[in-house]
Amino acid sequence: MSDLFDEQYAQNLKAQAPLADRIRPTKLSEFVGQKHFLAKDKPFRQLLQKGQINSLILWGPPGSGKTTLARLIARFTKSHFFEFSAVNAGVKDVKKIVAEAQERLKFRQQRTILFVDEIHRFNKAQQDAFLPWVENGTIILIGATTENPSFEVISPLLSRLQVIVLKPLSEIDLKIILKRAIKSQVGLKNYSVIINNSILNFLAKQTGGDARSALNALEIATIAKKPDSRGMRNLDLNDITQALQKRMLNYDKKGDFHYDTISALIKSIRGSDPDAALFWLAKMIEAGDDPKFIARRLIILASEDIGNADPIALIVATSAAEAVNFVGLPEAQLNLAQAVTYLAQAPKSNASYLGLLAAIGDVKNHPEISVPLHLRNAATELMKSLEYGKNYKYAHNFPEHYVSQDYLPRELKNKVYYQPADIGYEAKIKARLDDFKNKKSFLN
């Protein structure tokens, strides 16, 4: 009877599970992506075809299919599958699973795959507990991690595991998964979803190779959308954007005067008016405002509105903040006044800030971009074997400590974010960068 209830519980749980879990493939042939090691002509796939599997680490970004793949491996090799998360399991759990695995192997001749999600969260002692059982084959350990196993998994254990690197899913892969979810009976078929190809492309691009995020957004947008007169849910760009949108922090509306006054202070400094800046500073001090808050805002302004036009501005603002901590009011108002007047008279440039905004825009528009191999640090033999750092040119080995090479991803080659102003120290920076660009152009 308990088995019947357990089966019913499992069915109910599955029905209430997130979309990403409901539509997990049950056959290896249904798995999308990771063809660099799962294609039929690859050694890993050929071993699976023979029912052979060794302990391994699945290293990849969120939503790339680590958990799904581990379950499929167990099903494909007819192994017993046991899963737990390193967040809430310990050495006692491992010992219990090992004892059951020994019994299973002895009496049923069935292997046990122990899948440990977020294995990087296990400390050294916990990871040590796996060693003898992985060594003698009592369990087949499959660890999943988003972190570099070279740093997060102890060397004795890592040497006994095959490391499989999963890549972010391509936009094509994500679209296949999303379309499958829309058509699936256990997915969104009953919701009668309509979504055109351009919006599907947008969703796939914005989720940066993460199938779980893409499916979660699709499910949220679908549930939130009211059906039309035909019972169809026609998802538009706004529906998907709202589903993807991050929660924003709520601010206390009762603090309007406080924020209006700091706004006036910042804008006066930005506008190079030290008299107005001193007035608003005095207003805040007399109102009993927190001098540490004022100091923090001055530090931000020093980089946002002055930047490299006067690099000393950041030093002055930071020193004023330290003085506020060290001296306190009322004397610290002198330090704040000195900082405010210096920042107000300083040459202004927001080139660094604008460059950052442009770069952030490209990061959001190209979430799939990863660090080029030659710029990655090859700190371990594993990373070297994956060609981390290959062909990197060390600038200090070249005349004037400069060498022409690509530091941006190929998708953004020659993109310019930082455009120095012709004012203050930034004019010198501009001349130096122009010189570098001319040399790069000549060398290329």
Report the alpha-carbon distance of residue 274 to residue 341 in Å, rounded.
Answer: 5
Question: What average pLDDT does range 239-256 have in this prediction?
Answer: 57
Other C-beta atoms closer than 10 Å to the C-beta of 211 total 26
- Whole-angstrom Cα distance, residue 331 to residue 336? 9
pLDDT at 37: 93
Reduce the DSSP state of residue 116 to 3 states and report it.
strand
Q: What is the mean pLDDT of residues 241-263?
A: 61
- Structurally, at CATH architecture level, domain 34-165 sits in 3-Layer(aba) Sandwich (3.40)
pLDDT at 249: 32
Query: Is residue 10 pLDDT above 60, yes or no?
Result: no
d(CA 344, CA 271): 7
**CATH architecture entry for 253-345:** Up-down Bundle (1.20)
As a whole number, mean pLDDT of residues 62-78 equals 91
* CATH fold match for the domains 253-345 and 355-443: no
Taking the C-alpha atoms of residue 350 and residue 133, their distance in angstroms, rounded to an integer, is 59
- Using only the alpha carbons of the chain, give its radius of gyration: 29
CA-nearest of 311, 377, 385, 386 to 342 is 311
Whole-angstrom Cα distance, residue 205 to residue 368?
7
pLDDT at 14: 55
In single-letter form, the type of residue at position 141 comes to L
User: Thinking of the domain 171-244, which architecture would CATH place it in?
Assistant: Orthogonal Bundle (1.10)
Name the residue among 204, 179, 202, 174 with its Cα closest to residue 189: 179
**Alpha carbon distance 179, 106 (integer Å):** 44
| pLDDT score of 123 | 81
Residues 125-142 have pLDDT tens digits of 888 888 989 888 888 999
Of the candidates 70, 74, 72, 100, the one whose C-alpha atom is nearest the C-alpha of residue 85 is: 70
pTM: 0.69
Residue among 296, 314, 305 nearest 273 (CA): 305
Q: Domain 355-443: which CATH class?
A: mainly alpha
pLDDT of residue 254: 42
**Domain spans of the chain?**
34-165, 171-244, 253-345, 355-443
Q: What is the chain's mean pLDDT, rounded?
A: 86
Confirm if 139 and 97 have CB atoms less than 8 A apart. yes
Phi, psi dihedral angles at 166 (to 5 degrees): -95, 140
d(CA 367, CA 303): 26
Residues 85-140 pLDDT 10s? 766 667 777 888 888 888 888 888 888 899 998 888 888 888 888 898 988 888 89
List % helix, strand, coil for the chain (3-state, nearest 5).
60, 5, 35
More confident residue, 149 or 287: 149
> For residues 333 and 8, what is the distance between their CA atoms, to the nearest angstrom?
69
| Cross-strand bridge partners of residue 234 | 194
For tokens 């900082």, the residue is 339
pLDDT tens-digit readout, 34-47:
999 999 899 999 88
